[in-house]
Amino acid sequence: MPQDISHGKPIDDAPGVIGVITPATLRHHPEAGAIEYPPLPDDIASNPRSGFVRPAGWFRDGEARLELEIGCGKGTFILEQSGASPATNYLGIEWQYEFYAYTADRLRRARRGNVRMLHADASEFLRWRCPDATFDVIHLYFSDPWPKAKHHKNRVVQHRFLREVWRVLRTGGELRVVTDHDELWRWDADHFAFWIRAGDVVIDSTDEYDTSVHKSAPAAMEGLPRPAFELAAFTPPEWVGEGCVVGTNYEKKKCVAASKEPHACVLKKLP
């Protein structure tokens, strides 16, 4: 758990307006009434699509472009990006309650009408809650590296995750990834290598890919086109200042301060 990141200031995640209430969040806010995210139905095991919700329906303009940020932390990226592109809807997901509420409160105070925050595990959300072709872009910035081998299963990038990313992206949609963690980048590249066009270069290293992470790939890729994604260069958003790639809190604190340039790439969904 993070320490008191709000420094004692009252926080309002504005359920029903900014915050999307899950059954778990309701335990913190039993008074919140907006049930936009019902519990998983009983037949979820036999009917995996029965838990799908319609994220576009959480926004005033349900037909607009929709982008997702996974792991918003203190929320600087989603706050700035949603202000720079008011015609696009943004959904942020954060599984640590304090960060979720802190970011939702920032968005509420900035009166963002095109952003919602969801308190949930992003991988589970994509797999069990998200219909096909939901998002135009998925942003994954400075994901937790989980450095110990026994924790690698907690990393967001997994073959199963990439399968869901492909499914929930619209055609031509993009997964944008940035990290400063060399070993996590290697892991990402080892996974991406399976999904992109042979010969694409993902990493700035001459090492061979580590095939040990590929064991589960064939199962996760079953029935999908190969390649499933095209690799592209990462372009920073225009509002991001000199010396940054995405301008998140983490990047400013850890990369800019240490003069470390993060790794970045884009995976574009192929039909």
Ligand X SMILES: C[S@@+](CC[C@H](N)C(=O)[O-])C[C@H]1O[C@@H](n2cnc3c(N)ncnc32)[C@H](O)[C@@H]1O
* Residue closest to ligand X when measured from CB atoms: 71
- Binding pattern for the stretch 127-156 against ligand X, x by CB under 6 A and - elsewhere: --------------xxxx-----------x
Instruction: Give whole-number Cα distances, 73 to 2, 142, 181, in Å.
Output: 10, 10, 17
The mark string for 232-251 relative to ligand X (x by CB under 6 A, - otherwise) is ----------------xxxx
Which residues, other chains included, contact 181 with Cβ-Cβ below 8 Å and sequence gap of 6+? 145
* Piece of the chain touching ligand X by CB under 6 A; list 60-68, 89-97, 103-111, 260-268: 89-97
Length of the chain (residues)? 271
| 144 carries an active-site annotation | yes
Check residue 254 for interaction with ligand X (CB under 6 A).
no
Please tell me whether residue 92 binds ligand X under the rule CB under 6 A: no
Q: What is the rounded distance in angstroms from the CA atom of residue 17 to the CA atom of residue 49? A: 26
**Given 4, 43, 61, 144, which residue is catalytic?**
144
Nearest approach in angstroms of CB 139 to ligand X is: 8
- Residue 32, amino acid: A
Contact 195, 213 (CB under 8 A): no
Stretch that binds ligand X, among 15-23, 54-62, 117-125, 180-188 (CB under 6 A): 117-125
- DSSP assignment of 53-93 equals --GGGGSSSTTS-EEEEE--TT-HHHHHHHHH-TTSEEEEE
CA distances from 77 to 88, 98, 137, 244 (A): 14, 17, 14, 12
Q: Is 80 in the site for ligand X (CB under 6 A)?
A: no
Q: Is 122 in the site for ligand X (CB under 6 A)?
A: yes
Q: Which position among 58, 59, 99, 102 is part of the footprint of ligand X (CB under 6 A)?
A: 99
Q: What does the DSSP 8-state code read for residue 152? A: G
Could you tell me the two tokens for 110? 């900035």
Instruction: For ligand X, give the closer residue by CB, 132 or 144.
Output: 144
**Which positions touch ligand X (CB under 6 A)?**
70-73, 93-96, 99, 121-123, 141-144, 156, 248-251
Catalytic residue numbers read: 144
